[in-house]
Amino acid sequence: MCGHLHRPIARRWFGSLAMTAPSSAHQVTLDLRPGVSETLSLEPAAFALHLWDGEALVTHIAAAAAAPGPYPFRSDGKLIE
């Protein structure tokens, strides 16, 4: 685990998973084109929540603000209205 980078990123690195957390403020704009200047985006604040159960570590990326829902799904995968 490492600190935040204002953008959630995960990458396999030398056989381990390296991961950055999003920011609780603004995010760095996701623009992967070569030579583009970095900009910020007012995406929702988010954070990484780690759960250690004594054997394994699981990380969830969660938005800091509430969103509408939860909504149940129908058996065909569509939302129930």
pLDDT of residue 72: 73
* CB neighbourhood size of 6 (10 A): 18
pLDDT, tens digit, for every residue of 13-51?
Answer: 899 888 888 888 888 888 999 999 989 888 888 888 999
Q: What single DSSP character describes residue 61? A: E
* Average pLDDT for 67-74: 76
Alpha-carbon distances of 44 from 7, 38, 69, rounded to whole Å: 11, 18, 16
